Amino acid sequence: MKKKDEITTLIQKYLEDNCSTEELDELIHLLNKDGDHQQVEGALYAYWKNKSSYKNELEKEELDEMLALIHQQLITAKPRSKAPILRSLKNYFVRAAAILFIPLLLGTLWLTVDKLKSKQPATMVELATPFGSKIRTTLPDGTEVWQNAGTILRYPSYFSGKNREVELIGEAYFHVVSDKSNPFYVKTKAGKVKVTGTRFNLSAYEEDAYSSLVLEEGEVHFLTEKGQEIRLLPTEKLVYTKQTGELVKQKVDVEKYTAWTEGKLIFRNDPLADVVQRLERWFHADIELVDPDGSLANHTFTLTIEHETLPQVLDYITQAADLNLESKRIKSTDDKSIHNAQYRISKHKN
């Protein structure tokens, strides 16, 4: 609360031309550190509503002159100049319409902060999701990412210019902030996904035989290492087979591939080998499929998992297919405590 009050006070002094050199430096520091846009917007809006010209309109010629003057003063202003940045602009600001004033002044403040940031090279951030869990994060541009179990996401500490690219190993659901002039790229070992603003699910585990891309909303392009570009529309899925390089596009039920973000696993005629693999990651378990002739791996299942435990799920699978289930506890080599469980699924012995 103290930091928010401090930001509000400094903004007020800044707008009233009473901001000292030290206070201006402190304001820029706080904005750069906290990035509290809502607090700034609230302070600016409250200031503007108290002006007598709150409902006055701004002529286009005056707006153009004001914009030019802002850019000129921001470019020529020295970092520790005592002259308040908005001194000569005050008469213009008090006549601007509220809908113009807030984003315009925010742009002035954030431009100053961004110029400081641009001098520092971006560092790569690596976010890893352990097996048995999932996380949600927000990237520097506002893009939201849901990471599934056993996933690694690498991204820069901030996006500069047209560089909006991240790297993915594993599975993630993306809600990308729209920016048509600066496409967003997700790089995987199989290729790149290019988007400007959309929602999609991308699965690219290194150990899997294939990668898949499912589009929920908007439009995406998949770029292969060989230069191919495949366009996807909503409800379409693209499967890339690693061994052969084959690309197959088809219509699908999107919920099946995105429900995991809400804590559900949906299987619809999926082979047991795929079911087991997803269960291992979801529950952080070791499930062995004893299948000498390969007949079990291709046995299909349809089920939805939400609140069930792993033993409950495996009991259902083995009972439905008349299979044998064995389990044992695995103890840690360090403190002998229970670490996780190991399961074996096999056919009944004759």
Cβ atoms of 82 and 21 closer than 8 Å: yes
Rounded (10°) angle between helices 98-117 and 60-76: 20
Domain 264-347 has CATH 2.60.40.10: no
* Burial of 263 from C-beta contacts in 10 A (0-12 / 13-18 / 19+): exposed
For 90, residues 6+ apart whose C-beta sits below 8 A from its C-beta are 17
pLDDT (0 to 100) of residue 291:
86
Picking from 204, 174, 207, 172, the residue whose alpha carbon sits closest to that of residue 189 is 204
pLDDT (0 to 100) of residue 284:
92
Q: How distant, in Å, are the alpha carbons of 139, 146, 170, 295, 342 from that of 271?
A: 35, 25, 20, 10, 21
Picking from 38, 54, 47, 52, the residue whose alpha carbon sits closest to that of residue 4 is 38
Residue linked to tokens 């403190």:
335
- For 13-33, b where at least 16 C-beta lie within 10 A, e where not — what string? bbbeeebeeeebeebbebbee
In which band, very low, low, confident or very high, does the pLDDT at 197 lie, cut at 50, 70 and 90? confident
Q: What is 94-137 written as a DSSP string?
A: TTS-HHHHHHHHHHHHHHHHHHHHTTSPP-EEEEEEPTT--EEE
pLDDT (0 to 100) of residue 308:
93
pLDDT (0 to 100) of residue 74:
39
The model's pTM? 0.65
pLDDT (0 to 100) of residue 94:
42
Q: Using one digit for the tens of pLDDT, what is the confidence trace for 19-57?
A: 777 777 676 666 655 445 555 555 555 555 555 444 444
pLDDT (0 to 100) of residue 87:
42
pLDDT (0 to 100) of residue 226:
83
Tokens describing residue 19: 């901001």
pLDDT (0 to 100) of residue 294:
83
The CATH class given to the 124-257 domain equals: mainly beta
Flag the least confident range among 11-25, 175-189, 215-229, 245-259. 11-25
> Looking at per-residue confidence, does 305 or 47 come out higher?
305
Q: How distant, in Å, are the alpha carbons of 220, 221, 257, 266 from that of 253?
A: 17, 19, 8, 11
Residue linked to tokens 């509000």:
8
In which band, very low, low, confident or very high, does the pLDDT at 69 lie, cut at 50, 70 and 90? very low
Predicted confidence (pLDDT) at residue 269 exceeds the cutoff of 50: yes
In the chain, domain spans: 2-117, 124-257, 264-347
What value does the mean pLDDT take over residues 338-342?
Answer: 66
Domain 264-347 in the same topology as domain 124-257: no
pLDDT (0 to 100) of residue 144:
94
> Looking at per-residue confidence, does 70 or 168 come out higher?
168
In which band, very low, low, confident or very high, does the pLDDT at 176 lie, cut at 50, 70 and 90? very high
Most confident of 29-38, 178-187, 271-280, 341-350: 271-280
Q: Using one digit for the tens of pLDDT, what is the confidence trace for 74-132?
A: 344 444 444 444 444 444 444 443 434 444 444 545 554 555 555 567 788 999 999 99
Residue linked to tokens 């060989």:
226
pLDDT (0 to 100) of residue 205:
96
